[in-house]
Chain A
Amino acid sequence: MTLKDFLNFLNKNTETIIEYTGNHFTLVLSAVIISLVIWVPVGLLLTKSDKWAARVLGLANTIFCIPSLSMFAILVTIPAFGLGRKSALFALILYAMMPLIRSVYDGAKNVDRSVIEAARGMGMSTARILREILVPLGMPIIFAGFRVTVVMTTGIAAIATYIGERNLGRFISEGLIRSNTPMMVTGALIISVIAIGLDTILGLIEKSIVPKGLRINR
């Protein structure tokens, strides 16, 4: 493959590339948003009960261990899901469970007990302690988990092409079947750029979101 072949491919297939990239993005975005809405509260709730925390974290870990191709295959066999976006979205949300719950739980659990004890002793309500203490103090760990989730979701989303998702993963799978190198490279490159780009942006946001008092040293 020469650079010319590659540029040729980009030129001829601009519309498809845009469509696939858009599909890829919307899948990742909706998966991440839904995951945040579901798993962050679950993670916070788990800090209330060690017993349930062990159970749910164990379950999340087990799910995380299932290879993505197997996961998609299993979901497709369930009539309610079938081929396409539903299965893809559901799988991505399941995968996000482990990193998100784990980081939210660890982040909140890591907050110094004496800070919470003092806050309770001053008459702060549970909701206020959550909002003003647990979340901001747990933020560095929570955000690290969030970054991992976003990058991971971007990668696994590509595999959803095997269950009918028309996204950047399709360039890679089709390219492999047809021995079309420019096609493969296009898919691989754009997915990588998206993943690295998202991680970089989130890294910048992370810096601004960590409370100032935690960044200061004597």
Chain B
Amino acid sequence: MIELKQITKQYLGQAMPAVENLSLSIPEGEICVLVGPSGCGKSTILRMINRMIEPTSGTVTIKGEDVSSTDSDQLRMGIGYVIQQIGLLPHRTIAENIAIVPRLYKWPKERIAKRVDELIVMMGLDLEKTRGKYPSQLSGGQMQRVGVARAMAVDPPIMLMDEPFGAVDPIARNHLQDELLRLQKEIKKTIVFVTHDINEAIKMGDNIAIFDAGKLVQFGTPEEILTNPKNSFVENFIGHDRVVKKLNLYRADDAMQPVGCLVKESDLQSAGQRMKDAGTEVAFLLNEVGQRLGHLTFAEFEAGKGDLEGLRKKVLRTEKAFVQISTSLPDALSLLLEFDSDYLGILKGDELCGMLSFKDIRKHVYRKDGE
């Protein structure tokens, strides 16, 4: 989709080139994150795609067409552009701000009005309240939504986002990230996303390109980069919690195993035998009407064999140790530690569909490809 070929950008009066001999192919319909410490050239690269900056040498092509042969204003009209400072026009209402690019395309008024309303709703903003407001009347998070809506106004196939959520507070940032990911599932744009935050890169990227001092160090999926960091720079940039970060890529259902043994409360004394028969280490206990009470390990059963009431109490201690299937692995891990429990029951809706232990998480993280 977007092809950068041997791009070099040398600013006048600077010894080192800002970007050096970069070749990168950005696939269509995916989010490609450019990440690196400040001054690594990632914003420069982004801005060379829509010709806000011209490369010193090399070519940028979009769908096979060299961008330097196109009219720069026309080119930019067809590419969504979101910057950290947003840059809403303070003297224009929210509706007028979103309508800027449609107006450049000379859309008829009714079409513009319809599209603006559509986008305000899509961004989760209150249509009637927001449309006529001025930017200064919105919060940072709301303004950034308007910024994204404005960039999507004419439904461009490509969006360039330069640290789009860098200036909003962490809670709003999380929301905006989640919403962009949700939206991306429907709109499938080619998004080039610049950030200096490796966590944001891992969360947002289908692919991540890591830069250092104007050079591409590693390009790959988040999993590839977290599993096989190419060198010590990438390792340090990711941080020592690399493996914990990797957990972010997975959900509980990726690592869980099926429930081996379900036992009715009244059959508690035979739980040990049943676990043996099923070849499993843990049994989940249900009461007479089928409600989940908790779980009991084989070791716990053996230790407290004679004392049924004691066993029951042990089971009830894990009453809350159930999570939904969509829970991320770091959250699941945290809950395992919080409940001081060996297992978590995994729920799909209200149905018990699996279980997860420390061992399962470890096995999943270190599994070999294709397993």
Interface residues, chain A, CB within 8 Å of chain B? 112, 114-125, 132-133, 136-137, 211-214, 216-218
**A212-B134, A216-B136 given as contacts; is B87 within 8 A of A123 (CB)?**
no
B226 at the interface (CB under 8 A from A): no
> Nearest Cβ distance between residue B201 and chain A, in whole angstroms?
22
> Nearest Cβ distance between residue A63 and chain B, in whole angstroms?
33
Which listed residue, B75, B83, B137, B150, touches A123 by the CB 8 Å rule? B75
Interface string of B78-102 (1 = CB under 8 A from A): 1001010111111111000000110
- CB contacts (< 8 Å) of A116 on chain B: these are 87
Known: A114-B86, A118-B83, A124-B73. 11 other contacts (CB 8 A): A115-B87, A118-B88, A121-B76, A122-B100, A122-B151, A137-B91, A212-B91, A213-B93, A214-B90, A216-B137, A218-B136
Interface string of B107-138 (1 = CB under 8 A from A): 00000000000000000000000000011110
B77 at the interface (CB under 8 A from A): yes
Q: How far is the CA of A62 from the CA of B104 in the complex (A)?
A: 43
> Nearest Cβ distance between residue A143 and chain B, in whole angstroms?
14
- B90, B101, B104 — most chain A CB neighbours (10 Å): B90
B52 at the interface (CB under 8 A from A): yes
- CB contacts (< 8 Å) of B160 on chain A: these are 121
Closest A residue, CB atoms, query B71: A123
Interface residues, chain B, CB within 8 Å of chain A? 50, 52, 73-78, 81, 83, 85-93, 100-101, 104, 134-137, 147, 150-151, 160
Asked if residues A213 and B83 are in contact (CB atoms below 8 Å), the reply is: no
- CB contacts (< 8 Å) of B88 on chain A: these are 115, 118
Question: Could you count the A-B residue pairs with CB atoms below 8 Å apart for me: how many are there?
Answer: 79
Which listed residue, B52, B77, B90, touches A115 by the CB 8 Å rule? B90
**A114-B83, A117-B83, A124-B100 given as contacts; is B77 within 8 A of A213 (CB)?**
no
Asked if residues A118 and B134 are in contact (CB atoms below 8 Å), the reply is: no
Q: Please, could you name 15 A-B residue pairs with CB atoms under 8 Å apart, sorted by A? A: A112-B90, A114-B83, A114-B86, A115-B87, A115-B88, A117-B83, A118-B87, A118-B88, A119-B87, A120-B76, A124-B104, A137-B90, A213-B90, A213-B134, A216-B136
- CB contacts (< 8 Å) of A117 on chain B: these are 52, 83, 85, 87
Asked if residues A123 and B86 are in contact (CB atoms below 8 Å), the reply is: no
Asked if residues B81 and A122 are in contact (CB atoms below 8 Å), the reply is: yes
**A114-B87, A115-B88 given as contacts; is B135 within 8 A of A123 (CB)?**
no
Q: How far is the CA of A122 from the CA of B92 in the complex (A)?
A: 15
> Nearest Cβ distance between residue B146 and chain A, in whole angstroms?
11
Asked if residues B83 and A211 are in contact (CB atoms below 8 Å), the reply is: no
- A114, A117, A122, A133 — most chain B CB neighbours (10 Å): A122
Q: How far is the CA of A201 from the CA of B92 in the complex (A)?
A: 26
A-B pairs, 6 with minimum CB distance: A118-B87, A123-B77, A211-B91, A114-B85, A121-B81, A123-B76
- B89, B93, B151, B160 — most chain A CB neighbours (10 Å): B89
- CB contacts (< 8 Å) of A214 on chain B: these are 90-91
Q: How far is the CA of A124 from the CA of B87 in the complex (A)?
A: 13
